[in-house]
Amino acid sequence: MIPAISGSPLYKIACPESIAFFGASNNFSAMGSSILNAILTDGYEGRIFPVHPKEKKVLNLEAYSRVRDLPEVPDLAYIVLPTKIVAETLRACGEKGIRRAVIVTAGFNEVGGEGKVRQEEIKAIAREYDIRFTGPNCIGVVNSHIKLNATFLPSQGRPGFIGMASQSGSFITQMFDYLGTRFGQGFSTGFSLGNEANIDIADCIRYLGACPDTRAIALYIESIRRGRAFIEAAREVSAIKPIVAYYVGGSETGKKACLSHTGSLAGPDRLYDGVFKQSGIIRAQSVEEMFDFCYALGSCPLPEGNRAVIQTHSGGPGAAAADACGRSGIELPALSPATLKKLGSYVPHTGSVNNPVDLTYTKNPLDFFHAIPKILLEDEGADSMLVYFLASAAMIHRALSGMGVPKAEIDAQVNKIVDEQCGSVAALMTSCNKPLLGFSFLTRENPFIAGLQDKGVPVLPSPERAARALGALVEYRRLKEKLARSVRTK
């Protein structure tokens, strides 16, 4: 059983009601100012107390010259100061009674030499005052559900269901745009870990496991510091919620890069493979794949098995998906006689009722969104479904125009049709309780793609990526069952 998030050392870091902010000024280009600016822009509703030795106001907020002058004890200290004064500031926070901190400042373990001494110093201060902190050398924290974005780039304010713990802050703050433009998603909660001098990735796994807004957990890993704690936390959490990890220390060049990035010592690929397997973690081979997998895992019910049916109206994308399915261990069974009978007149003579089902063309293009996928997804031999989408709102526009619909009404009618059709696909996934993944080379600029995604149907950007994401669903189903068995036999 995973305890509630309120029991986690990360609770007041991810959900603070008040923040003491160190390092923001009225100089906009300073890193601290950028972060405070991002916090204000995204609309965080808690109390913020900038601490600045000289300024009376910082970004229009009342500023305090010393932490001890603050009118209350804030939940969290956010430290973006020059390296040399971090330790004394942390001590002052401890004196004030602050018990949580995010230390963004760099120049510690990752630079070696004196940096290592400095890191030991802040660790000792934290022990002395019972402070738990993330960083140093991190980018911060984001919690879209309380509009807290303390990561210096604008978050676009999108909530989402992907929880992330990352040993690179970039994969939080620089992915807002990525997740938004590709999937219409944001992070539920994201932690940038930096050097993990105090709080580490195992703590984050437990927090995200308990977080009610998080449906899938992404981990960017350069090195695991506490192996046993990591495996224990991951096994516990992955029994109830999927975890996807992307590890980059596996090649010789990757290992060296990790060492100079966060001062971490990466291990051989196979060792990490073993750790992930033991922990019930799904391994991704790239940043894109990590988010593809989390997106699909957080969107779909799990499949009963590895048999899928593919619906397409273009042979090439269908064949590419079929080939990728084979490489991901997904089988494509023949359709049942009952299904073939029901399909009947929907498939023109140029089409194929093999699997992939290639419609080439349908008299009523809207059948592609409901009647046909319903028949296919209800086939007893299908545990899941992949659908290729190439719907064009422009074509509906043209058709309505051709039917004589007045110009003024066309846009509204197109929107209504898009909305209904996308809703119809989404409803299928619920009624059949089987995963349905879309794929398309189109982006969210196409209203059908945005519509499907926003209604909860994951649409991936290529046949191969959709097939691999479906493979991750099948894998997670197996991992989960295995973990359940191992708990029962204990």
Measured from the CB atom, is 177 or 380 closer to a copy of itself?
177
CA–CA separation, 213 and 236 (whole Å): 18
Stretch that binds a copy of itself, among 41-49, 251-259, 293-301, 417-425 (CB under 8 A): 251-259
Site string for a copy of itself, 387-406 (x = CB under 8 A): ---x-------xx--x----
Binding flag, residue 258, a copy of itself (CB under 8 A): yes
Amino acid at 152: F
CA–CA separation, 414 and 179 (whole Å): 26
DSSP 226: S
Binding to a copy of itself (CB under 8 A): which residues in 107-146?
107, 111, 137
Binding to a copy of itself (CB under 8 A): which residues in 23-42?
28-29, 31
Binding to a copy of itself (CB under 8 A): which residues in 417-436?
none
Q: Which of 21, 191, 207, 220 binds a copy of itself (CB under 8 A)?
A: 220
DSSP conformation letters of 444-470 = TTSHHHHHHHHTT--EESSHHHHHHHH
CA 9 to chain CA centroid, nearest Å: 21
CA–CA separation, 389 and 261 (whole Å): 41
24 contacts 80 by C-beta, under 8 angstroms: yes
Minimum gap (Å) between residue 358 Cβ and a copy of itself:
7
DSSP conformation letters of 358-399 = E-S--SSGGGGTTHHHHHHHT-TT-SEEEEE----HHHHHHH
Binding to a copy of itself (CB under 8 A): which residues in 39-98?
none
Binding flag, residue 186, a copy of itself (CB under 8 A): no
Binding to a copy of itself (CB under 8 A): which residues in 281-340?
285-288, 310, 314-320, 322-327, 330-332
DSSP 55: -
Q: Which of 18, 170, 362, 424 binds a copy of itself (CB under 8 A)?
A: 170
Q: Which of 254, 301, 381, 456 binds a copy of itself (CB under 8 A)?
A: 254
194, exposed or middle or buried, with CB in 10 Å at 0-12, 13-18, 19+? Answer: buried
Binding flag, residue 489, a copy of itself (CB under 8 A): no
Minimum gap (Å) between residue 288 Cβ and a copy of itself:
5
190 contacts 294 by C-beta, under 8 angstroms: no
Measured from the CB atom, is 141 or 146 closer to a copy of itself?
141
Binding flag, residue 252, a copy of itself (CB under 8 A): yes
Q: Which of 106, 202, 414, 469 binds a copy of itself (CB under 8 A)?
A: 106
- Determine the size of the site formed for a copy of itself (CB under 8 A): 77
Amino acid at 348: P
457 contacts 425 by C-beta, under 8 angstroms: yes
Binding flag, residue 354, a copy of itself (CB under 8 A): yes
CA–CA separation, 217 and 208 (whole Å): 7
292 contacts 315 by C-beta, under 8 angstroms: no
207 contacts 11 by C-beta, under 8 angstroms: yes
Binding flag, residue 156, a copy of itself (CB under 8 A): no
Q: Which of 159, 250, 305, 381 binds a copy of itself (CB under 8 A)?
A: 250
